[in-house]
Amino acid sequence: MVEGKVVIVTGAGSGIGRDLARAFAANGAKVIVNDTGRVVGGDGFAAEHVVAEIQTAGGRAIAVVESVATSDSAQRIVQAALDHFGRLDCVVNNAGITRDRFFFNMSGEEWQAVLDVHLNGSFHVARAAAPHFKSQNSGSYVHMTSTSGLIGNVGQSNYAAAKMGIVGLSKSIALDMAKFKVRSNCISPWAWTAMTANIPADTPENIARIEKLKKMDSAKIAPLAVFLASDQAVDVSGQIFGVRANEIYLFSQPRIIRTLHRSEGWTPESIAEHAIPALAPSFYENVPSMAITPWDPI
């Protein structure tokens, strides 16, 4: 499906990113496996081990151990693709970390660390690739978002803000680069990975959530990403998809759903008396994402 294309996958040393890199290679792409992590309990960098797996299976890949969190290092990631494979066709912004904590306890460092990797990292790598996509009049961005941002979650204000920011970034890229035939889409994945393994098993609800997540294979995310990078997705841009086990779904996007007009204008009192009672039936319930998107493995 992506034979001959060159694809950067960030955060590809483990979890969803590793599965993405392997799937792209299995479908004919040349893959830049980007990750800064070292092998847990072993030697070397995780990205190098993923490259070895791909090469053993007959694919082509190189490891690039660079952070996504700065412009200079992002440029080096993109340059590695050009130096080794001569072009670039797709960027998959998957790199991520978590620093979960209730908002009222969150430090500035915990806030900034998550935004630097998720949101700033997505921008830096996407921006570094943009001139090359423009010059060849083609390209695809696939960004990983999350229901923590799209719907909300407890103890993840940094992660949620970054992931919702990625949606805005993707929409803007899709609009700004449409005339160059460059596409940009988001995937909200559900999978059991090292990041979701950080969920504390401290309540019956969390224990149930963990058991459901353990049944969601991270490899299930990859086929949609491969499709979005392919030429068959030429008309798909600016969308937000979700993947959960064997489900693929499409998210709604913010649109005006109710409007009220008052010829003499509004006062705080008339808003309290008329506007809010009229709008309240359309309010969204303030609940975490798992309450909105239940999952039954049967």
Which residue in 141, 159, 249, 284 is the catalytic one?
A: 159
Pairing relationship of beta strands 247-250 and 240-244 according to DSSP bridges: antiparallel
Residue 249 among the catalytic residues: no
Is the Cβ–Cβ distance between 240 and 249 less than 8 Å? no
Catalytic residues: 159
